Amino acid sequence: MREIPKWLKDLAAQKKAAFHTQKAQLLKQTLDDNFCTVCKEAKCPNRGECFCSGEATIMILGSICTRSCRFCSVPKHIKPKEPDANEPYKIATFVKQRNLKYLVLTMPTRDDLKDGGASHIAEVLREVKRQNPDCLLEPLISDLQGNMEALKIVLEAKPEVLGHNMETVPSLYQKVRVGASYERSLNLLKKAKEFAPNILTKSSLMLGLGETKEELKEVFRDLRKVNCDILTLGQYLAPSKEHLEVQSYPTQDYYDEMAAYAYSIGFKAVLAGPFVRSSYKAGSLYHQIKKRAV
């Protein structure tokens, strides 16, 4: 396995220190006691920083994924439970108690559900808005197996941002995203913009899986062709020896170059760096776009 460079280890150590602060641990305990979070399930390196600033991403529809992507640490090969009917109320109440103004919701892929979980996602969005009219919402959804009626159900709940991650370049899909399709994911973002032009769309890619610079730029251009607004780029880190091996560790200069190119072709907001994840500083990116629009 390729050795992690010292500069990246040092950066990880700084983030790990923040995770062990009292403020971060208090929020971690509250979340662990009440919700699934992608922060925990995906072993996110930003947990300390985000928890210290009062941010977290809640995972709805349980913590079991019905696919077998080789980059992800979310549990698989176990039968998922039925959606929790009380989940919308629990999340909305949590948001109200903490006076959250921006909430990111993510989900495991639920191919076992007829609509991929869309109706449950929509109910969570509606209930959070009912109890917290000022809270901005950003669901990060699966490809819903290409079910456009299910996509409409989510969009009709009127989130401010709809996220769906491309994850990697087309040449690596068969190895990285088992059960997924590059064209299906791209079409979901395309249709989201057609169905709801005023809702911002967002996508994310992992770097270090063996992709080339030109392959990345090609994905950027494809995303802009479907009017995707926001792009995030981050380093792939193997959760275990059983997962895909890391092929490279791009430097921050490389991320800066990729971000500059993404801006040059029309993305409204871009965040790129080794520890950037799709939900990282999500509220800041949204407000950055709205501020420029004024």
- At 94-131, the pLDDT tens digits run 889 888 889 999 999 999 999 999 999 999 999 999 99
Q: Name the pLDDT band for 56 (thresholds 50, 70, 90).
A: low
pLDDT of residue 170: 97
Q: Which helix (H) or strand (E) holds 183?
A: helix 182-195
Residue 292 has pLDDT above 60, yes or no: yes
Closest C-alpha among 19, 77, 12 to residue 50: 19
Burial (CB count <10 Å: 0-12, 13-18, 19+), residue 290 = middle
pLDDT of residue 11: 81
pLDDT in tens, 137-159: 999 999 999 999 999 999 999 99
pLDDT of residue 118: 98
pLDDT in tens, 210-231: 999 999 999 999 999 999 999 9
DSSP per-residue codes, 86-140: THHHHHHHHHHHHT-SEEEEE----TTSTTTTHHHHHHHHHHHHHH-TT-EEEEE
Residue 42 has pLDDT above 60, yes or no: no
- Region of poorest pLDDT, from 24-33, 38-47, 237-246, 262-271: 38-47
Q: CA gyration radius for the chain? A: 18
Put residue 76 in one of left, alpha, beta given phi > 0 → left and psi -120 to 50 → alpha.
beta
Q: What percent of the chain has pLDDT over 90?
A: 62
Mean pLDDT comparison of 8-22, 71-85, 94-108, highest-scoring range: 94-108
Dist CA 189 CA 176 (whole Å): 20
Q: Name the pLDDT band for 265 (thresholds 50, 70, 90).
A: very high
CA distances from 262 to 153, 232, 272 (A): 30, 10, 10
Dist CA 37 CA 47 (whole Å): 10
Q: What is the mean pLDDT of the chain?
A: 88
pLDDT in tens, 188-213: 999 999 999 999 999 999 999 999 99
Dist CA 214 CA 59 (whole Å): 33
Beta bridge partners of 211: none
DSSP per-residue codes, 18-59: HHTSHHHHHHHHHHHHH-EEHHHHTT-TTHHHHHHTT--EEE
Q: Name the pLDDT band for 86 (thresholds 50, 70, 90).
A: very high
| Domains of the chain, earliest start first | 6-293 (3.20.20.70)
Closest C-alpha among 128, 16, 57, 2 to residue 282: 57
Higher pLDDT, 162 or 47: 162
Q: Name the pLDDT band for 19 (thresholds 50, 70, 90).
A: low
Residue 293 has pLDDT above 90, yes or no: no
pLDDT in tens, 172-189: 998 998 889 999 999 999
pLDDT of residue 58: 87
pLDDT of residue 52: 59
Higher pLDDT, 212 or 42: 212
